């Protein structure tokens, strides 16, 4: 890579950061507010943990599993975050990430600005690298900020003093990788077809992953169902039980890599007229 | 060959490239369906030349331009820009530093100001950033554009101005513009054409797709007409005009009698509009019957006799009627 390519990647990357920071901040602030609201109720819930367990134990366990809720850890801050915050974030986040990904290139195609960008003295490799890097950067930053806000609100609004740092670090990394998969799916399908298809593909993958996870929790379901869900590779229950994410999480960066390469192969020869 | 060594804002000179064709497209084809797209379109642009590329909506202008700019892959044909054969999309990257392109749709990043957009374009180019910025600002001033405004707040015409500036501020050797003056007021249209004229005088080649035949007539050296995906005419503007026949108009005065009118119509032709005879096929009339026509004018109460030069628009419409 020569100096000019590096400079071009830098310029496009900076432009992506400038253009998208407002949207990302709205997303982060919304989830931080949600996190703050949830933390207000944690102490009350932790105090009545035993009664809740008694009520919840009458409900099917598959339901809890599907929403990343573990009755044994519900009274802990990790279990509480899993069941109240992450269960929602892992459904809404992928749709947002796929929308974000579809904006990177397909969004420029639908708005028309790609006709300008692609006739600048910049290789398609540089444009693609800069845009995808900026997208990944935002996924990690957005999830990092949401988790950082959750840590702060845990300290401010609950009686928890001992922050489970390993849990938060694991969630931040896992959630960022999980979102990045959807970002890249949105980007890839958007380039292949159009922006709205990118969003739909992301939403479809999320629905499929959620359903596969739900089915896999049902008794006597063939084991392979759990492998079809991204929840298996980013297992937040493991984290709340004091374990690490495990080797399964490595599949997410591998999927990301494949999606990045595939996206570039399509983009490099794609007609944009 | 031009002997003088004229320098421009960049390191190239007119002497350097005056002898080579800037754009040479041969039989470029990209058909979406029969007659839709571009079918064996050949175009060339020489240094210092302004070529008009005209045709109605859907004739294949934008498809052709998309192929010329590397946004669309031709199904067949060959393309050479600045002496470089272009076969794959990656081949285009190096020529983009010398190619100014204005797409038909002026869409840029809405959330930023025109100035930030220009700065971004400058950032993506090698060269003296200060000089490029100065040049861009000078064009903005000539086109009467307030660059501090956000792009989303600009009118269609002002967005067009941003596009024009972005396509020329770096003194490209080849400029391809798709409907450059759409949405511009007459004064800015004139200024835009003047800028293009200056750039072509400095040696740049310009390919201008337009619906505005008056502007093509005014600025272009050569015109290419495309119809149903195929080029049907390509020659100098003066050549297309020579092909056309002048119109002769005879208008009777209010005092002319029916006998007088009949005397003229019997010799020349029928009334076409009230008390007016308009002749398109004047060639024979003027060469063989000139004395007859003149004596008729004197004797039969014709108040006006005019020979009208054909406009490019008229020629264009004639071509399309064929």
At B282-291, the pLDDT tens digits run: 555 555 665 6
pLDDT higher at B245 or B27: B27
- The mean per-residue pLDDT over the stretch A183-192 comes to 97
Q: Is A112 on the interface with B (CB under 8 A)?
A: yes
Q: Which of B89, B125, B163, B171 to mutate against chain A (most A CBs within 10 Å)?
A: B89
Instruction: Tell me whether residues A15 and B89 touch, CB distance under 8 A.
Output: no
Select the residue of A22, A115, A118 nearest B105 (Cβ to Cβ): A115
CA distance A51 to A183: 41
SS3 readout for B210-271: ECCHHHHHHHCCEEEEEECCEEEEEEEHHHHHHHCCCEEEEEECCCCCHHHHHHHHHHCCCC
Residue A68: per-residue pLDDT: 59
Do strands B99-102 and B174-178 pair parallel, antiparallel, or not at all (unpaired)? parallel
Among A116, A123, A268, the residue with its CB nearest the CB of B103 is A116
- Is any Cβ of chain B less than 8 angstroms from the Cβ of A4? yes
State mean pLDDT over B76-97: 94
When pLDDT is averaged across residues B234-249 and rounded to a whole number, the result is 72
Q: Which residues of A touch B115 (CB under 8 A)?
A: none
Residues 7-66 of A with CB under 8 A from B: 7-8, 11-12, 15, 18-19, 22
DSSP strand E in B7-54: where?
A: 23-33, 36-45, 50-54
**Residue B97 at interface with chain A, using a CB cutoff of 8 Å:** yes
**A273 touches B at CB < 8 Å:** yes
Summarised one tens digit per residue, pLDDT across range B89-103 is 999 999 999 999 999
| Chain A residues lying within 8 Å of B118, measured CB to CB | none
pLDDT at B15: 45
State percent of chain B over pLDDT 90.
Answer: 56
Check pLDDT > 50 for residue B1.
Answer: no
Q: Which residue of B has its CA nearest to A125?
A: B90
Q: CA nearest B132: which of B146, B118, B114, B112?
A: B118
Confidence of residue B230 (pLDDT cuts 50, 70, 90): very high
Contacts of A266 in chain B (CB under 8 A): none
Q: What is the mean pLDDT of residues B291-319?
A: 68
Interchain CB distance below 8 Å, A271 and B73: yes
From chain B, the residues in CB contact with A12 under 8 A are 124
Question: Within the 152-191 window of chain B, which residues sit less than 8 Å (CB to CB) from chain A?
Answer: 163, 166
Question: What's the rounded mean pLDDT across residues B7-22?
Answer: 54
The verdict on B109 touching A (C-beta cutoff 8 Å) is yes
> What sign has the CA pseudo-torsion B67, B70, B76, B77?
positive
Averaged pLDDT, B117-133: 94
Which residues in B lie closer than 8 A to residue A111 (C-beta atoms)? 107, 110
User: Within 10 A of A187 (CB to CB), how many other CB atoms are there?
Assistant: 33
Lowest mean pLDDT among A4-8, A134-138, B316-320: B316-320
SS3 A122: coil
- Closest in A4, A22, A112 to B126, CB measured: A4
Report percent pLDDT > 70 for chain A: 96
- Looking at the predicted structure, is the pLDDT value of residue B277 above 70? no
Lowest mean pLDDT among A47-56, A59-68, B160-169, B173-182: A59-68
- Contact (CB<8Å) B69/A119: yes
Predicted local distance difference test score (pLDDT) of residue B278: 66
The mean pLDDT of A73-86, rounded to a whole number, is 88
* Interface contact B108-A113, CB threshold 8 A: yes
Q: Over range A235-253, report the average pLDDT.
A: 89
pLDDT given for residue B300 in this prediction? 67
Tokens of A97: 């990430």
Q: What ipTM was assigned to the predicted interfaces of this complex?
A: 0.86
Q: What is the mean pLDDT of residues B255-271?
A: 71
Residues of B in contact with A18 (CB under 8 A): 112
Tell me the pLDDT band of B309, cut-offs 50, 70 and 90. low
The model's pTM: 0.85
pLDDT at residue B106 in the model: 76
Could you give the residue ranges of the DSSP H alpha helices within chain A? 3-40, 42-47, 49-56, 61-66, 77-80, 87-102, 108-111, 114-117, 124-157, 165-192, 195-217, 224-227, 230-233, 236-240, 251-269
Nearest-neighbour CA in chain A from B192: distance (Å): 19
């Amino acid at each position: 890579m020569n100096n000019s390519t590096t400079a071009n990647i830098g310029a496009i990357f900076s432009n992506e950061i400038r253009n998208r920071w407002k949207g990302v901040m709205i997303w982060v602030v919304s989830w931080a507010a949600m996190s703050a609201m949830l933390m207000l109720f944690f102490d009350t819930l932790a105090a009545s943990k035993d009664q809740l367990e008694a009520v919840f134990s009458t409900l099917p366990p598959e339901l809890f599993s599907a929403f990343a809720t573990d009755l044994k850890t519900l009274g802990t801050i990790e279990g509480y975050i899993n069941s109240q915050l992450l269960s929602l974030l892992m459904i809404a986040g992928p749709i947002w990430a796929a929308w974000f990904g579809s904006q990177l290139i397909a969004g420029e195609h639908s708005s028309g600005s790609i006709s300008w960008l692609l006739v600048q003295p910049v290789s398609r490799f540089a444009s693609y690298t800069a845009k995808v890097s900026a997208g990944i950067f935002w996924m990690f930053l957005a999830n990092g900020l949401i988790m950082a806000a959750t840590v702060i609100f845990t300290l401010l609004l609950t009686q928890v003093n001992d922050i489970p740092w390993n849990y938060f670090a694991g969630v931040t990394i896992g959630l960022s990788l999980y979102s990045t998969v959807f970002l890249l799916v949105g980007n890839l399908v958007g380039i292949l077809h159009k922006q709205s298809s990118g969003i739909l593909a992301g939403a479809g993958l999320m629905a499929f992953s959620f359903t596969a996870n739900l089915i896999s929790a049902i008794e006597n379901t063939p084991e392979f169902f759990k492998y079809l869900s991204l929840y298996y590779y980013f297992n937040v229950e493991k984290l709340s039980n004091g374990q690490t994410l495990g080797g399964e999480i490595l599949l997410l960066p591998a999927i990301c890599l494949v999606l990045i390469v595939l996206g570039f192969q399509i983009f490099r020869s794609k007609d944009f007229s | 060959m031009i002997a003088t060594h004229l320098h421009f804002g960049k390191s190239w000179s007119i002497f350097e490239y005056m002898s080579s064709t800037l754009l040479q497209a041969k039989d470029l084809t990209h058909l979406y369906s029969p007659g839709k797209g571009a079918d064996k379109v050949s175009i060339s642009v020489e240094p210092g030349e302004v070529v008009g590329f005209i045709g109605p909506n859907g004739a294949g202008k934008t498809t052709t331009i998309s192929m010329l700019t590397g946004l669309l892959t031709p199904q067949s044909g060959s393309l050479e820009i600045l002496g470089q054969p272009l076969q794959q999309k990656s081949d285009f990257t190096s020529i983009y530093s010398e190619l100014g392109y204005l797409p038909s749709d002026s869409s840029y990043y809405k959330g930023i100001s025109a100035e930030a957009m220009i700065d971004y374009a400058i950032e993506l180019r090698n060269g003296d950033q200060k000089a490029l910025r100065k040049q861009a600002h000078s064009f903005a001033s000539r086109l009467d554009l307030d660059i501090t405004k956000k792009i989303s707040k600009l009118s269609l015409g002002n967005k067009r101005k941003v596009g024009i500036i972005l396509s020329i501020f770096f003194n490209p050797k080849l400029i391809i513009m798709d409907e450059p003056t759409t949405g511009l007021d007459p004064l800015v249209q004139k200024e835009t054409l003047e800028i293009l004229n200056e750039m072509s005088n400095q040696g740049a080649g310009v390919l201008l797709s337009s619906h505005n035949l008056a502007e093509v007539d005014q600025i272009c050296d050569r015109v290419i007409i495309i119809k149903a995906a195929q080029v049907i005419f390509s020659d100098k503007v003066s050549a297309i005009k020579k092909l056309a026949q002048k119109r002769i108009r005879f208008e009777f005065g209010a005092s002319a009698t029916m006998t007088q009118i009949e005397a003229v119509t019997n010799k020349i032709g029928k009334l076409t509009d009230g008390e007016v005879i308009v002749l398109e096929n004047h060639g024979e009339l003027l060469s063989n019957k000139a004395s007859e026509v003149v004596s008729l004018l004197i004797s039969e109460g014709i108040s006006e006799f005019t020979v009208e030069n054909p406009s490019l628009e008229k020629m264009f419409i004639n071509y399309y009627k064929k």
